[in-house]
Amino acid sequence: MAAPILRCARPGRCWSLDYRPRRSRALFAEPVPGRVRGQSSAAAQEPRPGAHEWAAVVGLEIHAQISSNSKLFSGSQVTFLAPPNSLVSFFDASLPGTLPVLNRRCVEAAVMTGLALNCTVNKKSLFDRKHYFYADLPAGYQITQQRLPIAVNGSLTYSLGVGAQWSPSATKTVRIKQIQLEQDSGKSLHDDTRSQTLIDLNRAGVGLMEVVMEPDMSCGNEAATAVRELQLILRALGTSQANMAEGQLRVDANVSVHHPGEPLGVRTEVKNLNSIRFLAKAIDYEIQRQIEELQNGGKILNETRAFDEKLGCTVSMRDKEGKQDYRFMPEPNLPPLILYDAESLPVAADPQQVVNIDWIRERLPELPSVTRGRLVEQYGILPEHSFVLLNEDGLLEFFQTVMKETRAEPKKVIGWILTIFLGYLKQRNLAVSESPLSPSSLAELLNLLDSKVISLPAAKQVFEELWQNQGKTPGQIIREKKLELLQNQEELEEICQAVLAKHPQQVMAVKNGNQKVVNKLIGIVRRATGGRADPGRIKQILEKQLQ
Amino acid sequence: MLGLSLREVSAALKQGQVSPMELCQKCLSLIKETKFLNAYITVAEEKALKQAEESEKRYEKGQALGVLDGIPVAVKDNFSTAGIETTCASSMLKGYIPPYNATVVQKLLDQGAVLLGKTNLDEFAMGSGSTDGIFGPVRNPWSYSKQYREKRKQSHHRADEDSNWLITGGSSGGSAAAVSAFTCFAALGSDTGGSTRNPAALCGLVGLKPTYGLVSRYGLIPLVNSMDVPGILTRCVDDAAIVLGVLAGHDPKDSTTTQDPVGPFILPILRDVSKLCIGIPKEYNVPELSSEMQAFWSKAADLFASKGAKVVEVSLPHTSYSIVCYHVLCTAEVASNMARFDGLEYGHRCNVNVSTEAMYAATRREGFNDVVRGRILSGNFFLLRENYDDYFVKAQKVRRLIANDFVKVFNSGVDVLLTPTTLSDAVPYLEFIKEDNRTRSAQDDIFTQSVNMAGLPAVNVPMALSSQGLPVGLQLIGRAFSDQQLLTVAKWFEEQVQFPVIQLQELVDNCPTFSQHEKLGLVSLKRNLSKTKDWRYYGESKRKKLGPCRTNTFSQIKIKTNFTSHFGF
């Protein structure tokens, strides 16, 4: 039985229950399944047109850990997986009397990210304290930018429906409300058996950029695609490694549903989303849950829910009883953060003490959207291929290295990389960086294929061998396995003659006008040559001999 | 020797008239003998002796580090000191030994200063009496002065009655008592609403609150970050300037310190005050001001006028809002700053382990006194979302108005403002504790607080003794970063008024230097009091050489070990 599929209907962003087969999204780095849990009875009833329509509204709060050598306000190093509490300065441990000193690199990273996301960078921004008691927040407050953040009013453009569905109309834009600089917290490790909590402050005080996306999305897929695009941008900028598994990119989703034309519904906040796949899954689940809840006459509570990866559903966290009041207050130990542009830069300014927005703007690296356009232009590949090249970590570099070393057509190269190479990786659940096949080997193989030293089937065989026998070159494998194409015309003619002699019935059939049998004979000749003969040439010879 | 000025004792050290070790030992034994003052929470005897020894080696090699090399100093117990317990007079930090030095402490040590110990205060510097710390109240050395005792005898009090000892003022009362009792040559206090100037006034000392941003706060355990400033307590203005010269300047660890070059704070001798304009803020003439204090204030104004300065009445119209405004801003920051004391990383932790929240609650209940808890509670109330605009934002606006009051007055041509520092002279402890901490703080900071709101430099300069024989000081307030000019005027004033040196019985008995001083001081005092109508009398050449910090005699003081018994302890 087909499970009901939740579908993100493109025009009008309306949700309905649908039984269509699952749309393939295999070209995504982390495929986004649209599948949700079994449908409840109420929702399954005969839908009246329109009455069933729900619109979902999704906004995101994304915390990106800034890629910097030291923390936002202290000189402690930032390293992933260091021994617990080995990267803790007096300030990070909130020793009384210590003061924050702003890390210039973090400011530059936020400015750069703001510019890349088309934000207005505020020349003056402020820091605030956000208070709450938690064991991994040593000061009892987080320094953030509540009143006046460093960048505001930006936008992020992303493209849905990569692959067969790709079309320019699938390009969407989400507004960026703001980017704020803030401190990360430490980590609490709860040991329930001993009822202890262990605190690791290595992460406490690491610089974060909180990117607030307006609720312009309407399903898990859109949110996932937007986050993926942001991830690519952050990596291109080098402002964050944005690795979700390592917690460098953390996403909270605000989700609500309503009937189109009616006011927005009560929203829930979904946390604990540590992969793009789970992000989409959790949002779609939450949308479905809210729809069902409302259709069953229930109410949506303004609450925080966590996504349970194992159960594939969101569960109420129930940790915030009553309303949390963060008692925001200006951070008195940090003067306003003043940024300059070429115009406002003081003449005698110490370059170490000022951040110049224009200077950063001039040095912005190529952004993913530009890279894609360039790929399409330079190599004549399809736009959707450019998406895949960028979405898969390391694939673009792999492609470009192959292109440098091969004479093969870009379109052929992209075909090999996207279908054969990527297929192998996916099948084995490997990243590009883990590939046993080097781009140079592939380039060599494609060169041999291009110059007709080997046939396409032989090339696939060599590819297989390369995958298994690391360290060998395609040339070596071809020699060892004798996979070169038979170039000797006489030898080939002799083999063909022998085949025809052995298969009189087929020869008769051809002579009686059944041309299809020629293909069969070609196959027999190819087998006789161990696949080393070019089918085109075989066909030529056979046709000549059969006349 | 212990009564010398910094420059004098520095010269004595250079000339070998006294060695750093001798000086340190003398101070340490005087600290022991004056233990009843409760000025010190921790005496770092071993460390101090080691520092003195190192200093001695430097002097032997002729490689003294600076003007403070070998000179004993004390630091209020809310400055972090590496390896020395730093308690803030709170159970919360009892046993807490910081792993680092506050920048100001480090700067003193870099100059070769000998750190004797950590001085007493109100818990987390919240108070104006130095009476509300877990180590008990600080006693004002003037309680035991000949000047005060004789006055009490005259007014038929029993001279030896001990229950009438006086408070030092606060919250830097320990530092004030330490300097006033000659146990050290200078001490660091902190000043958030008057905590350095107030005890300086009541203990007859120079108490300097530098411009906000001139001196690093790194390592000062905060009360109100936006108003806290390390304060300097010395026995004369020149000493304060010397210490300021050591402490001032940008600190990369404190982003609120100025990046402009500062100092040097070498004070010229002001001979002509005719170009000076002194402002007298009329709003400071409050009904609570004692008539005696008011009289001293107007006499000081007359003194300036008589020497040719322009003395004008000015208005700081928002002064009356400063107390309530301060209450909101102070408690809000306190609530925030105290959030870190949760018993996890350092400090007191209770035995409750039911849950993290229960542990926090019990730790904080046990660790803080009522005053601190009360301020945390109010502060959190003001910061609540529904109250923020009505209280915190309004208070910030009022703060701006108060700061603008000063700007306007200084823009009108006034160089320095002259005000009282306190409402009256020191009151007895038993009198003081009749009112609660909040009431007291609100009353006692009345003249000093708005300066912190505006971040301006201000200094208490002792002026004379009251009818009770107790010190009375006046406050001079300057423009932001005009600390040098302010101190220059303060020095001129100090020269004019010739404040008498404290006469502590034992010192008189045992030290020719002091006895000479005190006799002269006493004479001058009596004369001053009898001639209070004629302020032009001050500053005449006769007594200029008789000031408390000016002596050419370097004879050593022998202090009897039974020092305390003379005070009935």
pLDDT in tens, B313-341: 999 999 999 999 999 999 999 999 999 99
Residue B458 bridge partners (DSSP)? B209, B477
pLDDT, tens digit, 9 for 90 and up, residues A162-217: 544 555 558 899 999 999 999 999 999 988 888 888 999 999 999 999 999 999 99
pLDDT band for position A321 (cuts 50, 70, 90): low
CA distances, B288 to each of A208, B291, B447 (Å): 52, 9, 11
Q: Which amino acid is at B324?
A: V
pLDDT at A480: 83
* A532 or B406, higher pLDDT: B406
The residues spanned by each domain of chain A are 55-330, 368-481, 489-546
Task: Return the closest-CA partner of residue A439 out of A469, A476, A413.
Answer: A413
The fold of the A489-546 domain, in CATH, is Arc Repressor Mutant, subunit A (1.10.10)
pLDDT at B511: 39
pLDDT at A318: 67
- Reply yes or no on whether the pLDDT at B549 is more than 60: no
pLDDT above 70 covers a percentage of chain B that reads 88
Say yes or no for a CB contact (<8 Å) between A135 and B344.
Answer: yes
Asked whether the bond before B171 is cis by omega within 30 degrees of 0, the reply is yes
pLDDT at B236: 97
Compute the mean pLDDT over every residue in chain A, rounded to the nearest whole number. Answer: 86
Mean pLDDT value of segment A432-449:
90
For residues B242 and B6, the answer to whether their CB atoms sit within 8 Å is: yes
CA distances, A360 to each of A115, A229, A346, A365, A541 (Å): 9, 21, 17, 10, 66
Q: Please name the residue ranges forming H helices in B478-536.
A: 483-497, 505-510, 512-530
pLDDT band for position A462 (cuts 50, 70, 90): confident
Per-residue tokens: A302: 């303004």
Rounded to 10 deg, the angle between the B370-383 and B437-444 helix axes is: 70
pLDDT at B18: 96
Query: What burial class does residue A496 get, using C-beta atoms within 10 Å of its C-beta: 0-12 exposed, 13-18 middle, 19+ buried?
Result: buried
pLDDT at A197: 86
* Nearest-by-CA chain A residue for B331: A329
The minimal CB distance from A94 to the residues B253, B340, B356 is found for: B340
pLDDT band for position A1 (cuts 50, 70, 90): very low
State the residue for tokens 């102070």.
B330
- Reply yes or no on whether the pLDDT at B526 is more than 70: no
Task: Return the closest-CA partner of residue A103 out of A140, A129, A139, A66.
Answer: A66
pLDDT at B4: 94
pLDDT band for position A466 (cuts 50, 70, 90): confident
Helix (H) or strand (E) holding B233: strand B229-234
Compute the mean pLDDT over every residue in chain B, rounded to the nearest whole number. Answer: 88
Q: Is B412 a catalytic residue?
A: no
pLDDT at A363: 95
The upper half-sphere exposure of residue B435, i.e. CA atoms within 13 Å in the direction of its Cβ, equals: 15
pLDDT, tens digit, 9 for 90 and up, residues B379-397: 999 999 999 999 999 999 9
pLDDT band for position A510 (cuts 50, 70, 90): confident
pLDDT, tens digit, 9 for 90 and up, residues B268-320: 999 999 999 999 999 999 999 999 999 999 999 999 999 999 999 999 999 99
* B305 or B439, higher pLDDT: B305
Residue in B92, B340, B380, B381 to test binding to A, most A beta-carbons within 10 Å = B340
pLDDT, tens digit, 9 for 90 and up, residues A341-358: 999 998 888 888 899 999
> At B334, is the secondary structure helix, strand, or coil?
helix
Q: Which amino acid is at B342?
A: D
Min mean pLDDT across A66-75, A443-452, B203-212 is at: A443-452
Helix (H) or strand (E) holding A237: helix A220-237
Q: What are the chain B neighbours of A98 within 8 Å (beta carbons)?
A: 218-219
The minimal CB distance from B339 to the residues A141, A197, A325 is found for: A141
Helix (H) or strand (E) holding B432: helix B429-432
CA distances, B418 to each of B206, B298, B441, B470, B499 (Å): 15, 10, 21, 20, 17
pLDDT band for position B533 (cuts 50, 70, 90): very low
Phi, psi of B420 (to 5 degrees): -70, 160
Radius of gyration of chain B (CA): 22
The pTM for the full model equals 0.85
Say yes or no for a CB contact (<8 Å) between A327 and B336.
Answer: yes
Q: Is B175 a catalytic residue?
A: no
* Nearest-by-CA chain B residue for A143: B336
The minimal CB distance from B217 to the residues A93, A99, A195 is found for: A99
Say yes or no for a CB contact (<8 Å) between A333 and B254.
Answer: yes
The minimal CB distance from B342 to the residues A101, A133, A335 is found for: A133
Q: What are the chain A neighbours of B190 within 8 Å (beta carbons)?
A: none
Helix (H) or strand (E) holding A144: strand A141-144
- CB-CB neighbours of B519 under 10 Å: 13
Q: What are the chain A neighbours of B254 within 8 Å (beta carbons)?
A: 99, 333
Task: Return the closest-CA partner of residue B187 out of B201, B198, B172.
Answer: B172
- Cα distance between residue B556 and residue B553, in whole Å: 9
Per-residue tokens: B437: 């901490």
The upper half-sphere exposure of residue A75, i.e. CA atoms within 13 Å in the direction of its Cβ, equals: 4
Minimum distance, in Å, between the CA of residue B257 and any CA atom of chain A: 10
Min mean pLDDT across A191-200, A219-228, A279-288, A480-489 is at: A480-489
Q: Is B195 a catalytic residue?
A: yes
Mean pLDDT value of segment B109-133:
97
For residues A189 and A34, the answer to whether their CB atoms sit within 8 Å is: no
Q: What are the chain B neighbours of A195 within 8 Å (beta carbons)?
A: 353
Residue in A191, A327, A328 to test binding to B, most B beta-carbons within 10 Å = A327
pLDDT at A161: 66
Mean pLDDT value of segment B464-492:
97
Say yes or no for a CB contact (<8 Å) between B255 and A101.
Answer: yes
